[in-house]
Structure 1
């Protein structure tokens, strides 16, 4: 297969090299194409596989053998630079990257959601504190107005009471005079 960069290979040759069936290779090819991977085709519209395609299939097979879900493995292979693929990179690294990336995104989303909830809670609490302070001010103002009205009523009652006392005293004086006057007038 040293001529892979010059000459293309058919599915039968690639499947034999990868030790998979031609139907498996066809299924992988279709899934890769759906994800955006491009294969060259001959005049009969058959896929022709080149060295870069061999590398892509090898990586796909490694990922799948390491329990990476097919669609995740397909997406990982499509996003790789197959031409410059470094042989020292192992499938477990890709597997961990895939899982770490998903886990990392989930953690970021959880953190952002928790931050948003906390922020909304704090804003609600601050708004609540603000509303409570405003309510307390209103209550204090109403209490002061009530106290002023109450004091005004009490003053008014005291004034009326004083007036009543004065009237009573004046009428008692008159009653006394009248009584004395009656008493002295009979004498």
Structure 2
């Protein structure tokens, strides 16, 4: 294991798409059955490729409805060290590893942010359009009111003229008799 890179629980949990508390519970149960994890000077578990294989196998067994205790026993008694030893890249390398869940969250956040921007732009455009429509409508209403007032004024003047003429003719008629 000296040539392998070790991982802390957070990195393992992200890779396996489980919570750190689930990883801790699985680790404790495996240790109870004799599985041993490497620990650092602070007594923290350090996980290696063989441990990833063990957890993947445990996760697969649980997904196939194998009871928890039976799954733990099956994984604890298996030797993952010699099965297709594969080195994993260091967590501290320039390569960044993201779980499917993290990528989905990043994409979801980006989509939500873009959606907010688009909705804000749409709302502003609608507001501007409504404001322009209201101005035009107000102008047209004012023009219609002005036109109606002019027509009323003209009709009123015509009525006054008729009345004046009628009065004039009525007075002449009265005088002729």
TM-score (normalizing by structure 2): 0.45
Q: Which has the larger radius of gyration?
A: 1
Greater relative contact order structure (CA < 8 Å, 6+ sep)? 2
Pick the structure with more helix per residue.
1
